[in-house]
Amino acid sequence: MSRIISDRVEKTDQVVVLPSALEDSKFAPPGTYRIFLISLVVSIFALFAALMIGYVWRAQSRVNWESIMLPRVLWLSTITIILSSMTFETARKLYSHGERRMASRFLLGTLSLGVAFLVLQVTAWRELVRQGAYLMNNPHGAFFYLFTGVHAVHLAGGLIALLVVVYGRNKRRELVNTVCYYWHFMGVLWLMLFELMRVVS
């Protein structure tokens, strides 16, 4: 029976034990963050897919459905989350090349843009209230608050994870990549929601 031997057997005669091995309970095994990310993304997407289907279905029935004007500040928040995704991706690439100090600057920039996005969302809610679109009296406005509110909660979770990446002492590259990919997912999700609300409105 033939034996499968790694091509590294000629390069080293020692076994390299990673700090994230199963023997060390302080570190998660390799791939744990990726599995967690996939599970989280699938569950979040399923939630928003159900909400979007319900939104389109309810919009076809004009009973008690009043059109609303989307606040213009949403365009600014859209640009903000796109820029934050760009800065995060730049930080991820810099971190993978060992330029951690420069990567930290871009991570702080991403953090600032993420906070700015949430502030802009609150501003959009206030503008909608000034239009008279409250949560309970108009299903159209209710869906707007639901979309933006649930998305803001998940983005806030991403901000907490980003804080761990920025100020954590032991930042593994896998953790940085995972949080970055989650952030990109939230950005793409917002673009889908914004386009859907814009078309229906």
Along the 201 residues of the chain, how does pLDDT read in single tens digits?
444 444 444 555 555 444 544 444 555 666 677 888 999 999 999 999 999 999 888 888 777 777 778 889 999 999 999 999 999 999 999 998 888 889 999 999 999 999 999 999 999 988 887 876 665 567 777 888 889 999 999 999 999 999 998 887 766 788 899 999 999 999 999 999 999 998 887
Q: What is the pLDDT of residue 15?
A: 52
87 lies in some domain: yes
pLDDT at 24: 47
Q: Is 9 inside a domain boundary? A: no
The domain spanning residue 105 has which CATH number?
A: 1.20.120.80
Does the residue 58 lie in any domain? yes
Whole-number pLDDT of residue 116:
97
Residue 8 lies in a domain: no
- Please check whether residue 118 is in contact with residue 176, taking contact to mean a CB–CB distance below 8 angstroms: no
End-to-end CA distance of the chain: 68
In which domain, by residue range, is 83 found?
35-62+70-200
pLDDT of residue 139: 78
For residue 166, what pLDDT is reported?
87
Q: Is-contact 188 104, C-beta < 8 A? A: no
pLDDT confidence of residue 189: 96
- When divided into structural domains, the chain yields a total of 1
In a domain, 25, yes or no: no
pLDDT at 6 (0 to 100): 42
Distances 200 to 77, 113, 137 between C-alpha atoms, Å = 19, 28, 18
Tell me what pLDDT residue 181 has: 96
Query: Do the domain assignments include residue 7?
Result: no
pLDDT for the residue 130: 80
Whether 16 maps to a domain, the answer reads no
Is position 1 within any domain?
no
Burial bucket for residue 133 (CB in 10 Å: 0-12, 13-18, 19+): buried
